[in-house]
Amino acid sequence: MAATIRDVAHAAGVSQSTVSRALSMPELVNPATRARVMSAARKLGYQPNRAARGLITGRTGNLGLIVPDLANPFFSTILKGMQMAARAADYSVFVADTDEDASAEVELLRALAKQVDGIVLCSPRSVDVGLADLGTDTPVVLINRHVDNRPSVTFDSADGMRQAVEHLAALGHRRIAYVAGPRTSWSNGERERGLRQTATATRSDIVHLGYFPPFFDGGVAAADLAVASGATAVIAYNDVVALGLLSRLGARGVAVPGQLSVMGCDDIGMSAMTHPALTTVSAPTHEAGRATVALLLQLLDGEADTTALHRELPTQLIVRATTGVVPAPDHRPAEVTR
Amino acid sequence: MAATIRDVAHAAGVSQSTVSRALSMPELVNPATRARVMSAARKLGYQPNRAARGLITGRTGNLGLIVPDLANPFFSTILKGMQMAARAADYSVFVADTDEDASAEVELLRALAKQVDGIVLCSPRSVDVGLADLGTDTPVVLINRHVDNRPSVTFDSADGMRQAVEHLAALGHRRIAYVAGPRTSWSNGERERGLRQTATATRSDIVHLGYFPPFFDGGVAAADLAVASGATAVIAYNDVVALGLLSRLGARGVAVPGQLSVMGCDDIGMSAMTHPALTTVSAPTHEAGRATVALLLQLLDGEADTTALHRELPTQLIVRATTGVVPAPDHRPAEVTR
DNA sequence: ATGAAAGCGCTAACAT
DNA sequence: ATGTTAGCGCTTTCAT
C-alpha cells in the first residue's frame, strides 16, 4: 500500500498539517522540521494523492483535450504541445477521441468536465448549439475555431492563403484551383475568405472545385476536377488532401509540378517526407497546444475574463528545396536590369 | 456549483446511501424509490464525482499511457485504440509524452501511478533497470516490448520480416539490405532475428547497413549505403525510415522501384498515401491499444496473474497496387506448365 | 429496503 | 510554528 500523509507524519513525529504545509507552503514551517518531513517523505516514497487533494481544493490538476481523430497528425501534434505545456505546469492531460462523432463530443465534454480544471475542444465542424450550454462550470477553450466571445486559439488561415496565392501569383499562376474542406468547417471558411481577398488583389482566378472530405480520399476525388479546371496550380484544404491529389495525379500520369503545381496546408510532419516535398502553409499546432494551456491557466487563475480571450497564431508559407510548385507554363519573370 | 449526491438525496427525499445504491447496485433498491432517485438525478444533472468515489473504492477509473513521441503515428494510433477501448469500459485515459527521454519516463510513471488504475508503457529502448522497481502497486503493461515475465502486448515482427523476405525472394531478390533501427530497440532485435532466419531458409543474403535513428533522417542517411551495397531491395526498420530512403533515392535519381525496391514496416497511415505507395508489413497498433486495455482490465479484476500475461499480435505483409517493390533485375519466374 | 455513521487522503480554518 | 478539527463527495459496513 502506498504511503499516506499520515505515515509521513508519524515517521517525522509531526502532525498531518505540518506535513501538508511542509510540502505546499514550505516557508511556513521551521526549516528543521521541514527537513525531517522531507526526509521521511522521501524514505517512504510518499506521493500525495491528487484526487484527495482535489476533493478539497476544487482543483484536480488535470486538463482535458477532446479531438475528432487522434490518428490525424494535426490533432496529435496539438495534443503533444498541450501535453508538454501541461507537464511543465504540473498538470496532467486527459484525452478523448470522438472518432468524428459530434454527439460523442457533447457526452465526453460532460463526462470530462468533472475530472478536469479545464478543457480544450477541437471541434472543427460540430454545430454551435452544443457549445452554448457548456463552459459554465469548467472553462473550455476552443482550438482552430472561433465562436462568438468564447476563449479560443486559432490559426491565421486567411493570411496563410494570402501567402499561398501571392507565392503562386509571383510564379505566374493566374488560375488557381481550390479543393475545399467540409462546408461547415470554420477553418475552411477562413481559407476561402483569404483566397477570395488575395485573388482580387493579385488579379488571379480561384476555381472552387467543391467541398471534399478533409482526408486522403478527398484529394483523390478532387484530382480529376483539378486537371479539368484548366488551373495551373491547386491549393488543397490540407496536406493530407494534397497527398491524395498527388496520388491520383501520379496514377493518371499528370506530372507534378511539371503540368500542375500542388500546395497543401498545415505542414503536418509528413509533408516534408514526400518526394517531391509538399509546399505548404504551416499551422503551428504544437504551439497552439501550448497556447491553449496558457489560456486555460490564465482563466483558472482568474487573471482573465472567461469571454473574449482569443489568441490567433500566425501561419507561414513553407517552400521546400524540392517542391511540387513551379512557375506557370507561360510565366515570364520580370527582366532584371543591372 | 455542480450537484452532489446530497442534493439528489434531498430532492428525492431519501438518504445518500440510497442514492448511491440506486446508481451502482440498482437491484438492491425498491423500483419506486429508484425511479424517484433517477429522476431527481437527471433533473439536477447529477454526475458522480469520480475522484471522491475513487478515494474510497481505490479505483480511479483512469488508465495511463506513456509514449516517447505522440507526434509519431505509431504511438498516436496506439493511443487511439486504447482510448476507444477505455471509453467502452467507462475508463478515461491519461497520456504522457516523454519526448524520447528515458529519465522523464520513470518520473512520469511514478507520477501517473497514483492517478490511474493501470499504465501502458511504450518504452522501446529504455534500460530494463527502470522497469524493475515499478508495477508493484499499479499494474503496468508493456507494449511493443517483451521483458522477462511482465505483462505485454507485442507484434510478431519476426514473422513480419519472414513475410517480407519471402515476398522479396519470390520476386527473385537474393541480396537484401536492412536499415536497422536503434541497437537497443527490442523490436529491432526481433526484426533482425526474423530476417536472419528467413535469409537462411530462402538462401538470400541480408546486408546489414548499420543502426540508424528510427526517423526520416535515418532513412536519408542510409540511402547511399543501400545503393552501394549492391542489394536489389531494401527493408527499412519502419515506414518513416523508408520514406527517408525514398526521399534521398529520389534526390539522387535512383529509380524506385526501377533500380531498387524499398519496403517499410508498421503500415502507418501515411504509407498508403505516398506515390508509389509503400509496400510494408502491418503492425496492428490500433488493435494493440485495445489489447492493452483488455489486459489491464483483466489484471484489475484479478482474473489473471500479474506475471506472464502476454499477447502477441500477428503482422501482415501489405502489398499495394502501385508499389515500391518489383522483381529483381535478373529475375526469371518459374515457368508455368499446364 | 433504507438510514446512520464512519472514513478514504487530504487541506484549511481555527486554535494554541 | 505547530496541532486539532472539520469536511470535500462518495461508498460501505452496520443497524434497523
Cβ atoms of B212 and B241 closer than 8 Å: yes
Identity of the residue in B49, B52, B76 whose CB atom sits nearest the CB atom of A70: B76
Instruction: Report pLDDT for B334.
Output: 63
Amino acid identity for residue A195 in this structure: L
What is the reported pLDDT for B328?
Answer: 73
Q: Cα(A46)–Cα(A1) distance, rounded to whole angstroms? A: 11
* Neighboring chain A residues of B51 at a CB cutoff of 8 Å: 51-52, 54-55, 60, 115
The more confidently predicted of residues B212 and A334 is B212
Is the C-beta atom of A20 closer than 7 angstroms to strand D?
no
Q: What is the pLDDT of residue A129?
A: 45
Contact at 8 Å (CB) between A194 and A160? Answer: yes
* Nearest in space to B184 (alpha carbons), one of B105, B255, B110, B128: B128
> Do the Cβ atoms of A272 and B216 come closer than 8 Å?
yes
What's the pLDDT at A108?
Answer: 87
Q: Which has the minimum average pLDDT: A153-162, B93-102, B213-222, B278-287?
A: B93-102
The overall average pLDDT reported for chain B is 90
Residues of B with CB below 8 A from A276's CB? 250
Q: What is the DSSP string of A25-84?
A: -GGGS-HHHHHHHHHHHHHHT----HHHHHHHHS--SEEEEEES-TTSHHHHHHHHHHHH
C-alpha B291/C-alpha A106 separation (Å) is: 27
In this prediction, residue A333 carries a pLDDT of 62
Question: Which chain B residues have a beta carbon less than 8 Å from that of A242?
Answer: none
Is B280 near chain A, with CB under 8 Å?
no
CA of A21 to C1' of C14 (A): 16
Q: Identify, with chain letter, the residue nearest to nucleotide C2 (CA–C1').
A: B18
| A251 close contact with B: CB closer than 8 A | yes
Strand pairing class (B140-143; B118-121) = parallel
Q: Kindly report each contact of residues B36-44 with a partner whose C-beta sits within 8 Å and lies 24 or more positions away, as own/partner.
A: B36/B12, B37/B8, B37/B12, B39/B12, B40/B8, B40/B11, B40/B12, B41/B3, B41/B8, B41/B12, B43/B11, B44/B3, B44/B7, B44/B8, B44/B11
The answer, yes or no, to whether residue B128 has pLDDT greater than 70, is no
CA distance A201 to chain B (A): 35
B12 sits within 7 Å of strand D by its CB = no
Which of A156, A144, A164, A153 lies closest to A281, judged by CA? A164
pLDDT of residue A85: 97
* Backbone torsions φ then ψ of B97, nearest 5 degrees: -110, 120
- Cα gap B276→A112, rounded to integer Å: 42
The 8 Å CB, 24+ separation contacts for A56-62 are: A59/A117, A59/A300, A60/A115, A60/A116, A60/A117, A60/B51, A61/A90, A61/A91, A61/A92, A61/A117, A62/A91, A62/A92, A62/A93, A62/A94, A62/A115, A62/A116, A62/A117, A62/B94
Question: What pLDDT is recorded for position B322?
Answer: 65
Residues 30-69 of A, Cβ under 7 A from nucleic strand D: 30, 32-34, 52, 55-56
User: What is residue B256's predicted lDDT score, i.e. its pLDDT?
Assistant: 87
- Residue B180 CB closer than 7 angstroms to strand C? no
pLDDT of residue B100: 87
Reading chain A (338 residues) residue by residue, the pLDDT tens digits are 688 999 999 999 999 999 999 999 988 888 999 999 999 999 998 989 999 999 999 999 999 999 999 999 999 999 999 999 999 999 999 999 999 888 888 888 888 888 999 999 998 876 664 555 555 578 999 999 988 778 999 999 999 999 999 999 999 999 999 999 999 999 999 999 999 999 999 999 999 999 999 999 999 999 999 999 999 999 999 999 999 999 999 989 998 888 999 999 999 999 999 888 899 999 999 999 999 999 999 998 877 666 668 999 999 999 987 666 777 776 666 666 55
Q: CB–CB of B96 and A115 under 8 A?
A: no
Residue B289 amino acid letter? G
Contact B97 A112 (CB under 8 A): no
The model's pLDDT over B18-58, given as tens digits with 9 standing for 90+, comes to: 999 999 998 888 899 999 999 999 999 899 999 999 999 99
Q: H/E/C letters for each residue in chain B? A: CCCCHHHHHHHHCCCHHHHHHHHHCHHHCCHHHHHHHHHHHHHHCCCCCHHHHHHHHCCCCEEEEEECCCCCHHHHHHHHHHHHHHHHCCCEEEEEECCCCHHHHHHHHHHHHCCCCEEEECCCCCCCHHHHCCCCCCCEEEECCCCCCCCEEEECHHHHHHHHHHHHHHCCCCEEEEEECCCCCHHHHHHHHHHHHHHHHHCCEEEEEEECCCCHHHHHHHHHHHHHCCCCEEEECCHHHHHHHHHHHHHHCCCCCCCCEEECCECCHHHHCCCCECEEEECCHHHHHHHHHHHHHHHHCCCCCCCCCEEEECCEEECCCCECCCCCCCCCCCCCCC
Query: In sequence order, what are the beta bridge partners of A92?
Result: A62
Residue of A nearest to B55 (CA): A52
More confident residue, B140 or A306: B140
- Whether nucleic acid strand D comes within 7 Å of the CB of A21, the answer is yes
AA letter at A166: E
Does at least one atom of strand C sit less than 7 Å from the CB of A48? yes
**CB B12 within 7 Å, strand C:** no
Among A127, A195, A202, CA closest to A161: A195
> Is residue B323 predicted with pLDDT exceeding 70?
no
Tell me if A70 and B80 make a contact (CB, 8 A cut-off).
yes
| DSSP state string for A105-133 | HHHHHHHHHTT-SEEEE--SSS-SHHHHT
Contact A47 B110 (CB under 8 A): yes
B88 lies within 8 A of chain A by CB:
no
Residue-level pLDDT at B302: 77
Percent of chain B with pLDDT over 90: 71
Q: How many CB pairs under 8 A join A and B?
A: 145
Residue-level pLDDT at B331: 67
List of chain B residues whose C-beta atoms are within 8 Å of the C-beta of residue A95: 79, 83, 93-95
- Cα Rg of chain A (Å, integer): 26
Q: Do you know the residue count of chain A?
A: 338
Q: Terminus-to-terminus CA distance in chain A, angstroms?
A: 81
Please tell me whether any atom of strand D lies within 7 Å of the Cβ of A29.
yes
How far A29 CA sits from the closest chain B CA (Å)? 25
Give the residue-averaged pLDDT of B192-216: 96
Min Cα separation B51/chain A (Å): 5
Query: What pLDDT score does A274 carry?
Result: 87
Strand D nucleotides where any atom sits below 7 Å of a protein CB = 1-5, 7-13
Q: Give which of B111, B137, B65 is closest to A47, Cα–Cα.
A: B111
pLDDT band at B129 (very low <50, low <70, confident <90, very high): very low
Count of other CB atoms within 10 angstroms of residue A48: 16
Dist CA A304 CA A120 (whole Å): 17
- Separation between Cα atoms, residue A124 and residue A105, nearest integer Å: 11
The whole-number pLDDT of residue A323 equals 64
Residue B101: pLDDT band by 50, 70, 90 thresholds? confident
Band (pLDDT 50/70/90 cuts) for residue B80 is: very high
| This prediction's pTM | 0.92
* Residue keyed to cell 503500415: B267
